[in-house]
Amino acid sequence: MVQLPKNRFLDFGWLKQFMPRGLYGRAALILIVPIVTLQLVVSVVFIQRHFNRITVQMTSALVLELDYLLTEVNRATTPKAARQSVERVIDPLAMWIELPGAPVDTTIRLTDFTGPWVAKTLHAGVPDLTGVDLASEHAGVIVGVITDHGPMRVGFSRDRVSASNPHQLLVLMVATGILMTLIAYLFLRNQLRPIRQLAKVAEAFGKGQVVPYKLAGATEVRSAGKAFLDMRSRIERQIEQRTLMLSGVSHDLRTPLTRLRLGLAMIDDESREDLERDVEDMERLVDRFLSFARSDALEDDPEPVDLAALTRHLADNAARAGQNVVLGELADPGTYPVRRAALERALENLLGNATRYGSQVRLSLVTGRGDLRFVIEDDGPGIPPQAREEALKPFARLDKARNQDKGSGVGLGLAIASDIARGHGGHLRLGDSADLGGLKVEFVLPR
């Protein structure tokens, strides 16, 4: 079987790039296209099959009167006698004549839908016709004919050859269509408002905000809203349970650690310093547990923050702590609504990871198309592409990718930063630094 080549213009996939993407636009398109199509079809069919047919019938009847008038004129011997012979019939025929008269050219307005049919019927019925003027007079028609006494102009009312004001049908249909479209839009807006509200609430929850939501709209929208509320409640319970569990475990661990530190202070032994370092590492791990537990519990509300000033502040803090952190590209996007404490904690974790595994770290603030990015690069060993997804998970330990001898950790730094990024509606992206050669971490915020 021979398979014909696929024509991309027949699958209508190319139309997607011209279609609206929003729900309002698509609903309006579904609403307006049938109305406009119906109006066009009805208008064209009605005008062609009704008004045009009536125009031809009325014009054909007028052709007989013009033939009679032309016969009377040609029967006379002089132009004066011709005018006198038709004066007794032009009043009953509701016409006027000029003999001799100026030539007449065929003139039709562009908005005259039945004019071409009038001219065509008159030319077919009156062989001596020279022209039909349908534009000079507002409600009249002037025709020119050749008689035995020279050119003659004949005028009569337009109502005699076509139905009056055929455009009124179009005006009425357009006005009615606009009115019905407006009414349908008002109803449609009421139906789409609950969907938009649900999308707004879901987007806010993805950024860590709990916005009140009341079920409204059609049955299907209410079902989707109820499913969202149930899902949000389950997620909130899981977050609360995880936070309470990690907080409780971390709090309970502090008591024996404190006793260990007090006990070590009373021991006079060469191994005491090593044991104290172990206790400090354990306390640092407990602090990481608490920080991870708080990363989803973002109680503070977003506030406008100058991100450029925040970037400089983080670089200054790192320098005071003895870390080799330099400022790279520093855009000035102005203020941006963020949870400052959570954002600082995430970026400090990322800077801590970078300085632990690399000797040179660069912090940049970059603006892109539709987003803002805090970029942290180092000259360390980096993370292989196949392990980057795993690196963002809690408690991930990438022994082959990072040198664990340079610091202890529990694998929560990237996970905390990723959770905080998602809480702001963004995400964390890992890559390779082009010039430093190590890991490149992008903390992306939507604009």
Average pLDDT of the segment spanning 221-227: 88
In this prediction, residue 376 carries a pLDDT of 93
107: DSSP letter: B
Residue pair 321/313 in contact (Cβ under 8 Å)? The answer is: no
Q: Which residue would you say has higher pLDDT here, 215 or 283?
A: 215
Residue pair 440/426 in contact (Cβ under 8 Å)? The answer is: no
What is the three-state SS of 157-198? EHHHCCCCCCHHHHHHHHHHHHHHHHHHHHHHHHHHHHHHHH
State if pTM tops 0.85. Answer: no
What are the structural domains of the chain? 23-164 (3.30.450), 200-297 (1.10.287.130), 300-446 (3.30.565.10)
Average pLDDT of the segment spanning 54-62: 88
pLDDT confidence bin for 115, thresholds 50/70/90: confident
Please check the confidence at residue 292 and state whether its pLDDT lies above 90.
no
pLDDT confidence bin for 290, thresholds 50/70/90: low
Nearest to 99 by CA among 163, 145, 66, 160: 145
Q: Which residues make Cβ contacts (< 8 Å) with residue 423, sequence separation at least 6?
A: 207, 208, 295, 296, 298, 339, 342
User: Regarding beta strands 129-133 and 150-157, do their DSSP bridges make them parallel or antiparallel, or are they unpaired?
Assistant: unpaired
